[in-house]
Structure formats: structure tokens, C-alpha cells
Structure 1
Amino acid sequence: MTLNTTSAGPGPLSGIVVADFSRILAGPYCTMLLADMGATVIKVEGPGGDDTRLYKPPSFNGIGTYYLSVNRNKHSIVLDLKDPEDLATAYEVIDSADVFIENFKPGGLKQFGLDAESVAERWPELVHASITGFGTDGGAHLPGYDLLVQGVSGFMSVTGFPDGPPQRGGVALFDVITGLHAAIAVLGALQERSRSGRGQHVELDLLSAALSGLVNQTTGYAACGNDPQRLGNEHPSLFPYGPFPTADKDLIITVANNSQFTRFSTVLGMPDLIKDPRFDSVENRNNNREELRVLLNEALRTETAETWAGRLQAAGVPCAPILTIPEGVQYAESLGLHPVVQVGHGKDTVPLIKNPVTYSRTPVTYDKAPPALDADRETVMQWLRSHRKDPS
């Protein structure tokens, strides 16, 4: 296999080369998205490889699915930056790149001449993206783990039931959000470079991404000093909005305006609820949620979740069951979304979750399975030799 870095490929980022020095989740998720869109991503790993290779169970053919989930379409080469020859090779990779992405601890790359100032001086056209946990000032010494950020951002304080302890999310949410922000930042810097001809340093940190991702919760505090509390599965500003008991199991019902509430109460056989001054507006339903809850629970317990779902969906009232991860994937398949894609070729093929973006003309691709450690060394080295500038 050769590295395809020409602009003739189908992807919207075909022709862009990314030097990926990141590991774990936020950086690799970002670079996978870029690779899906056609960028050539060279994954530079230390001698021990990306930690997530060993994150298991679960595993697929002995490889942790954590690693597999964010590393398709990349080319792996092992380089020990403490070795002068390997460091020279790392410089060559960056020499040929449009984008350099890393998530080293602040100051950790200075010894290798890869700090922001050195990179900007040596590669002025390069887009350099740095991802940290808590920034490069007062939080520079803090390790960047998603769970720590879930804790200090306030996310856990609003997750869980009022009478229970704070809860973590079921996935490394802020790593993923930071990876998305990083991809957006890189694309913005590349677009600006197309006008100015100059690269720039873009910085991201997990805590800032978390506070941005907490949207209404953090804005409520910033704008008016609101201190949100845990509400379990309740919404702080809307009711009914959450799971409700039926004759057999819970059904999620989300009513966000008066029109939906009118249809909802009509299906339940209580069409006059919208005329009740306690329930005639979003704010009044929210302020009188416990009184309304009693009425709704009494009506909903008369039929099964499936029966109510059919009636409510027919009336245009948003609702859904609570599914397991396997059931969720199967449900997406039943809707024609085809969430599972086969990545790679032959014996290396791996079933993974697809990129959620569909382009009408320049589709994302799934050509290369997540690589084994150092699997692409010869390919990368040959490609570098072909790109070396003639010293004369």
C-alpha cells in the first residue's frame, strides 16, 4: 500500500497531510475524522504504542476496540523522539505535513524542538493543533483525563438523581467533544491559510470544551448566577420531558411546546389539560410538574410502552424507548442508517461505526483498518524519501 497524498482522491480533504502525534482519544478522534474525509494521516507512536491498544475488554482479534474506534484510515510508524535519528524522521514527517496535531503535556515537546514557538519558526505554513487537559497557564501541570474534567466542569454535579451521588457519563464525552472542536479548528485554520499562506497554532483544552459543551447549564450560571442541580432524567426547563412509566416499561416522551402538549394530552384522553392554567404554558407546566406528573403517570400506566409509542408517534408527539447499545445499533439499521461499516480489506477488515457525515459528491472512505503498531513503517519511509528535497 502506498500513501495517497494527491488531490485526485474523492474525499474533501484529499491532498492534506496530517502528522498525528496524539494518543488516547481526543486527538485520535480528530485525526480519524480528517482521515475519513480523505486526509493522509501519519500516526507517529512512541515505542510502547498508543495506550488504547491495551484498553480491553472488549477486544477484536486481540486489539482493544477502544483503539479501533478512533484510528482507522491512518498509517502507523514508531518513532522514539529521544533517539536523534528518529527525531530527524519525525521532523521529515512534519516537513511534509499541512497539519501537526499533538496532545503532549504543556512544555513536553520543547526538548525536541517541537514547542509552539519552534514549530512556528521552522514551519510557518503549518497548522499546529495542541490539545491539553486544562490549558497552558494555571492548569498546565494537571493531567488531562476526561473523568477529571467531568468532575471539575460541573457535569457530574448535574448528572444523576437528586437523592443520589454525582454520576459520570457513560462515555468519555469531553474527549469526544474536544476532538470535534479540534477538527473544526483545523479546518478553520486551513481555510484561513488558503487566503494568507500562513499557518498558525490552535490550542484546545478539555475543560474549556466541557464548559462550552455544557451550553445552557454553564450559560445559566454565567448570565444570571443560576446553580443547576441534579434532576435525574428530568429537564431543567421543560416538562414533560423524560422517561415515564407505562404498563410494562418506561417510555421517553419529550414535549417542548404547547402544540406538542395539546396533541400529547389529547392522545392520553385529557384534551382539556392545555386549558388548565397550571399547564397552559411551558413555564407553568415546569412550575407545576409534580401535579402534572401524577395525572400523566395515571394515564400512561393503562397501556404498554409499545402501544403508547404507536399512538404518540402517529400524532406527532416525540417519544422513544430506552434501548441497550446493541439495540440502538440495530434500531439505526432498521431505519436504513447502516451504522456499521466494514473497514479495510481482506483479513484485516474490521467492523466499525461509520462516520456520521454523508457528502453528496465527495464521500468519506473506509479504506484502511486501524493499523498494527509500526505496520506502515516501510511505506511511510519510502514516501518520505520520495519527498525529500534535493540538497543541491
Structure 2
Amino acid sequence: MSALPLSGIKIIDLTRVLAGPLSAQMLGDLGAEVIKIERPGGGDDARAFGPPYLADPEGKANNNNSFYLCANRNKKSVTVNIASPEGQEIIREIAKGCDVFMENYKVGDLKRYGLDYESIRKINPGIIYCSVTGFGQTGPYAPRAGYDAIFQAMGGLMSVTGHMDGEPGAGPMKVGPSIVDYMTGMNTSIGILSALYHRKVNGGAGQHIDVCLFDTVIASLSHYVQIYLVNGKSPPRRGTWGNGGMPAGVFRCADGELMLVVGNDGQFQRTCTVLGAPELATDPKFLKNNDRVAHGKEIMAIFAGHFLKNPVAYWLEELEKAGVPCGPVNDFAQVFADPHVQSRGMRVTVNHPFEPNLSLVRNALTFSETPITEYRAPPLLGADTDEVLSSIGYDAEKVRGLKEKKVI
């Protein structure tokens, strides 16, 4: 079996909360050595984002919560007070031997510590220095802080998410999970991998990568925002309705709900047959997809009446036979009980000091020649400080002295 794709790549990670840590975790999964820098005492802000926490074997309060656990496997945790001169020197010493430097501080914050791109580039000219921020390194909003929900609002995502106008509960709605953070994490990984490739294959130099949540959410709106760019009109909120083939949306059945997407005219004809209403397929109002879009409320109401007649399992089986895309509306228990999810191994277990069989979600990438087989538990705060400092020449006595001064 070959080594993992990023074996030999070394990353110093000064990111906190979610977008940056998710990216560093992805790179760690792929074989990079990721050294996570955390504040002595408190650590990554994510550690304080609330329960649930793992149970400490001794019953003590701890900072290993689900928010932290989701984004920090396959890393080493080193505690360093970067506000102290000694702490800044530690970061520089580690950075000398790294390929990538990741940070998500406010624009300009690290310059006062001598840890900005220009400073790090002087001691490591080939460094790939990636800054992850809310609004980017330039522009009038650059100094601002922000969290995922702010960008869902400002970037337009909330304006096209939620119940349709005129329905109960209508109005802008936030997507449940921190989806902008996750997408920013993926963009961050793409940027870093591209820069590493450029440096190695194209003979390029190191460089500074600017990734931000605001850019990411706007770019992620793809065909929705393209509608506005084409005709100057913002698309309306559509609830669970699809935005291509029609009819598409969540339909209530006799015992639950299913999601249906009729993507073309052939699928529409087969769906009508399954519903016991083949005449709908020849109705001039519904003949072509554009016709069904124009008469969306009518066809959705007709379909809704038919789906109420039978349970979810019945419709799923019949629609699958007909080759029509559909699926149940699952909660997480149903997701992980699904035989396909189980066959894909989406749930992995790691040996955590507090929980020997801690469940995590695996990396979504699958490689034929370099499979990701090792998942190391998210580290306890500062678990690897001594090891990493020893690797850059700090002896036991010096480490003790730094601990006494609360530098580490």
C-alpha cells in the first residue's frame, strides 16, 4: 500500500473554531503532519462552545466537546502563548521546518507578533501561508470579525432559504449546520494543495493564500446567483421545492415524508404512472418541464394529494422501480442505520483517552491506491507540546522553564 498523498508535508496550524480546523483536519487525513497551536489553559475557542462533552474518566469537567471533536482529528496539540516573545520564537522555530502555515486571526493581528506572512517568509521563503478570515485581507470589511450565520445572511444564502412567501413561517432562514465554514474549509484545502503543487511541479515559490467566508458563500450560490446576474432578479425562497426539474419537493405520505425530484419529462411520465394518474403526463399544462415550472403550485398540489394515499416505503419502492430519484427524509439515527451508509463506512471509531470507541465521520474521499485508513483521535489540549518542542531542540529543562512562565 502506498503512503498517503500528503505524507512528508508538515503544517503549523494557528486556526481556531471551524473553517480553518476543518481544512487542517482534511489535510491531516491525507497524511500531512499537522501541529495545532492552542492557547495554554483554554485552547481553541471551539472547546468552549458548549455541550455535549465527553465524560472524563475521573468525572472532571473538560474541554473535549462535539464542536472541537468534529474538526481536529489527525493533529498534534501544542500549547503556546503567542503574545509572549518566547512563544513567538517557538512558532517561528516550528515554521522553519514547515511547508504550510495556517492562521485565522483578524487581518493584521499576527504582524505585531512577527508571525505575519512577510515575517515568516523571511525565515522560510518556500512557505505556503494561508489566511482564513471572515471578509478577506482587503476591502472595507477586512477588519471585521464574523461567524457562519453572519455570512449566510450577508452573502444572500438566507434570502433564498426558507418557506415561500405567503406560507406560515415565511422569511429568511439559516441553513442548519455551519455550511459556510465547511465550504470555506474545502476552499482552503484546495488553495493549499494548489499552492503546494505549483511550488513543487511548476518550480514556483511559496505564496500567501487569502480565503474568506464571505467570498465562499457568494460563490457557492452558483445557479441561484447566476439567475440574478442574468435577469437582475433575485430568485424567491422555494422551501423544499427543487430549482430545476419539476415537480420536486418534500411530499407527506401516510406515515412520513419523502423527497422527490422529477428531473426530466420521461421521469415525469413514469411518476404519473406510479401515482395512478397517467393522464397528467399528457395534460398540455404539464407536458414539458417549463410547463410544469409555470404551473408549479398546481402540479405540486395534485402530487401532494396522491402521495397521502400510501406510506413512504411503498412510494420509495415503486419510484425506485420506475427510475425516479427520491429518498426518505432521515434524521441522524436513520442516516447511520442506512445499509448504504454502513457499507460506505461513513462512521469510524478512534481510541480517545476518554472514550476508547469514539465515533467520528470519516473523510469523504476514497482512494484506490492511497486509502485513508488511520484516524487518530482529536488530541487533548497540549498533549504533544513536549514532543514537538523536543523536535526543534528544546531540552527538558527549557520546557520546564517555559511551563513555569506559562508560555506553554
TM-score by length of structure 1 reads 0.92
CA shift in 2, pair 1:236/1:360, >3 Å:
closer
* Residue 66 (structure 2) aligns with: 65
Asked if the contact 1:116–1:128 (Cα under 8 Å) also holds between the matched residues in 2, the reply is yes
Asked if the contact 1:11–1:365 (Cα under 8 Å) also holds between the matched residues in 2, the reply is no
Residue 189 (structure 1) aligned with residue 195 (structure 2): yes
TM-score by length of structure 2 reads 0.89
Measure the CA separation in 1 of the matches of 2:5 and 2:131. Answer: 23
Q: Which runs of 5+ in 1 are unaligned?
A: 1-7, 387-392
Asked if the contact 1:146–1:172 (Cα under 8 Å) also holds between the matched residues in 2, the reply is yes
Measure the CA separation in 1 of the matches of 2:31 and 2:121. Answer: 25
The alpha carbon displacement at 1:255 in A equals 0.7
Q: Which runs of 5+ in 2 are unaligned?
A: 56-61, 395-408
AA partner of residue 160 (structure 1): G
* Residue 223 (structure 1) aligns with: 230
C-alpha RMSD of matched pairs (Å): 1.8
| Paired residues, number | 379
Measure the CA separation in 1 of the matches of 2:375 and 2:160. Answer: 41
Measure the CA separation in 1 of the matches of 2:24 and 2:379. Answer: 14
Give the alignment partner of residue 36 of structure 1, picking from 5, 13, 29.
29
Measure the CA separation in 2 of the matches of 1:73 and 1:381. Answer: 18
The alpha carbon displacement at 1:334 in A equals 5.5
Aligned-partner SS, 1:58: coil
* Residue 127 (structure 1) aligns with: 128
Asked if the contact 2:249–2:261 (Cα under 8 Å) also holds between the matched residues in 1, the reply is yes
Spell out, residue by residue over 1:34-76, the C-alpha distance to the aligned partner (whole angstroms, 9 max, x if none). Answer: 0000000000112220011122212222521110010001001
Give the alignment partner of residue 141 of structure 1, picking from 140, 143, 147.
143
Asked if the contact 2:130–2:208 (Cα under 8 Å) also holds between the matched residues in 1, the reply is yes
Asked if the contact 2:269–2:278 (Cα under 8 Å) also holds between the matched residues in 1, the reply is yes
Aligned pairs (5 A) from 1:323-342: 323-331=330-338, 336-342=343-349
Aligned-partner SS, 2:313: helix
Residue 168 (structure 1) aligned with residue 174 (structure 2): yes
Measure the CA separation in 2 of the matches of 1:338 and 1:367. Answer: 13
* Structure 1, 284-293 or 10-19: larger mean CA deviation: 284-293
The alpha carbon displacement at 1:270 in A equals 2.2
Residue 208 (structure 1) aligned with residue 215 (structure 2): yes
Asked if the contact 1:32–1:73 (Cα under 8 Å) also holds between the matched residues in 2, the reply is yes
Asked if the contact 2:101–2:130 (Cα under 8 Å) also holds between the matched residues in 1, the reply is yes
Residue 304 (structure 1) aligned with residue 311 (structure 2): yes
% same residue: 36
Measure the CA separation in 2 of the matches of 1:369 and 1:357. Answer: 19
Asked if the contact 1:309–1:320 (Cα under 8 Å) also holds between the matched residues in 2, the reply is yes
* Residue 398 (structure 2) aligns with: none
AA partner of residue 187 (structure 2): H
CA shift in 2, pair 1:9/1:169, >3 Å:
same
* Residue 288 (structure 1) aligns with: 295
Measure the CA separation in 1 of the matches of 2:107 and 2:2. Answer: 36
The alpha carbon displacement at 1:109 in A equals 0.7
The alpha carbon displacement at 1:269 in A equals 1.8
Aligned-partner SS, 1:109: helix
* Residue 109 (structure 1) aligns with: 110
* Structure 1, 201-210 or 340-349: larger mean CA deviation: 340-349
* Residue 384 (structure 2) aligns with: 376
Moved over 6 A (4+): none
Give the alignment partner of residue 159 of structure 1, picking from 144, 158, 161.
161
Measure the CA separation in 1 of the matches of 2:272 and 2:375. Answer: 50
Measure the CA separation in 2 of the matches of 1:285 and 1:145. Answer: 39
CA shift in 2, pair 1:68/1:333, >3 Å:
farther
The alpha carbon displacement at 1:238 in A equals 3.1
Aligned pairs (5 A) from 1:263-282: 263-282=270-289
Measure the CA separation in 2 of the matches of 1:206 and 1:72. Answer: 22
Measure the CA separation in 1 of the matches of 2:49 and 2:274. Answer: 48
The alpha carbon displacement at 1:347 in A equals 6.0
Measure the CA separation in 1 of the matches of 2:345 and 2:45. Answer: 30
The alpha carbon displacement at 1:276 in A equals 1.8
